Amino acid sequence: MTDAETVDLLVIGGGMAGLSAAARVAAEGGSVVLVEKAERTGGSARFAGFVWTTPTVEEMRRVNPDGDPELAAALLDGFADGVAWIRSLGVDCRPPVPVLGFGRGHQLDTNHYLDTCERLIRDRGQEMLTGTWTKSLVTENGLVRGADVLLPDGTPRRIEATWTLLATGGFQGDPDLRAEHIHPRAADIGLRANPYSRGDGLSLGRTAGAAFGKKDAGFYGHLMPAGVSLADPARFVDLALYYSEHALLFDTGGKRFVDETVGDHLTAMALLERPEARGLLVTDARVHREWISASYVEGIPGVDKFQLCHRAGARCAVADSLEDFASMPEEWGYPGATIRDRIAEFNTSASANGGPTPGHSLDQRPLDEPPFYVVEAAPAITFTFGGLLIDAGAHALSAASDGRVPVPGLLAAGADAGGLYRRAYAGGLAPALVFGLAAARTALTESPSATGH
């Protein structure tokens, strides 16, 4: 391609959404350029292994009541086609299994899928520019017409495109943006994702007039052992404390503050808002046997996460009895005797009418089988829910309108797109896949002038 050519689609960001969109356009005979600022494509999707969401719109509405219903319906409508697209590339996408108790999804070799998309793009003669930074979008009378980029050697280049897709992965890699849009303490939480998603798509889109939302949308993440480095991506899954759904979580004042059984991803958001954003996760021998050292999702071998945390240097302990909590080291900063009493109160109320407060709705059994396993936990972020507002066709919506008029020529997908979730979660790879493919469909079938002002 020469600089003077106009491609059908310019993709900024080479993760799950961007590669899916670019590969689909290339497969359909369209022209595409993909720009990725990292040296390698794939982004945080390389650390994931399941593509899943809720099986029905009704279930999505139950777990995500404040999300955009149009986007939720589009996600579910496009999910089967997205899985079929993965399989059409020769990538193994295994039979569906339950996920998080309410979802349904497929295990896949994500790296195989991402690399296959990249190979397809190149084999169709389309361009991929890695190590390339996007300086700004090119606009003309409100129409986005491509972008100005800097190649790895610093050479500037203008890429003109009929459509431009922002798919840079969100803003979880930028502490200041986390503090601004999530919570002041979010600046200091761990990052269980690639470090390159620092809000580039958000900045580019807002400069072009795109709307940002939803307010207080939150983030997807997990409880991780506090104080343990996440520099090694292998730890993102190994040390995730998924079993918190069957545990009790106490803040630094010795208080339970959330129904832990609603999901580790929701508990992580709740802990961020507690003093010091750290807490003690307490389980007993039954939970250790049934959950800590067992498989979390069908098809994934179980590992003893308590032992992994211990070997990683996390603050953790085994208490032979509840009385041992009163001897908790002072430097930990928790009222051990108070936590002991509240565990005992929980065990009494778990089998009583009305149950404990806060509730423990999905696992009402007491924690009364010694020994007790204690790990200090802290929230870590994987990706952000707030982003550029889009519609079902992945059009970025204008901030100057009532929220339903697209910015001509501009698309967004993956974690750059907001509105689907608000303080709720039903899959990350699935929306990136579905709305990445929706962006490709828009680029192949629509004219920007037909959707603009």
CATH of the domain at 206: 3.50.50.60
For residue 403, what pLDDT band results from cuts at 50, 70 and 90? low
Same domain, 207 and 294: no
Same domain, 122 and 205: yes
Q: Is 201 domain-assigned?
A: yes
Same domain, 91 and 188: yes
**pTM for the whole structure:** 0.94
Same domain, 96 and 204: yes
Task: Give the span between the Cα atoms of 224 and 5, in whole angstroms.
Answer: 48
Fill in the amino acid letter for 234. Answer: A
For residue 1, what pLDDT band results from cuts at 50, 70 and 90? very low
Q: For residue 380, give Cα distances in angstroms to 35, 230, 348.
A: 28, 9, 32
Q: State pLDDT tens for residues 245-275.
A: 999 999 999 999 999 999 899 999 999 999 9
Same domain, 343 and 306: yes
Residue 52 has pLDDT above 70, yes or no: yes
Q: State pLDDT tens for residues 190-221.
A: 999 999 999 999 999 999 999 998 889 999 99
Count the neighbouring beta carbons within 10 Å of the beta carbon of residue 56. 11
Q: Which residue range(s) make up the domain with 102?
A: 6-216+385-451
Q: Is 1 domain-assigned?
A: no
For the chain, the domain total comes to 2
Same domain, 246 and 156: no
Same domain, 414 and 343: no
CATH of the domain at 355: 3.90.700.10
Residue 290 has pLDDT above 80, yes or no: yes
Same domain, 181 and 288: no
Residue 446: alpha-carbon gap to chain centroid: 29
Same domain, 47 and 127: yes
Q: By the 8 A CB rule, do 41 and 118 touch?
A: yes
Question: What is the average per-residue pLDDT within 45-49?
Answer: 92
Q: Which of 17-31, 287-301, 317-331 has the lowest mean pLDDT?
A: 287-301
Task: Give the span between the Cα atoms of 177 and 39, in whole angstroms.
Answer: 24
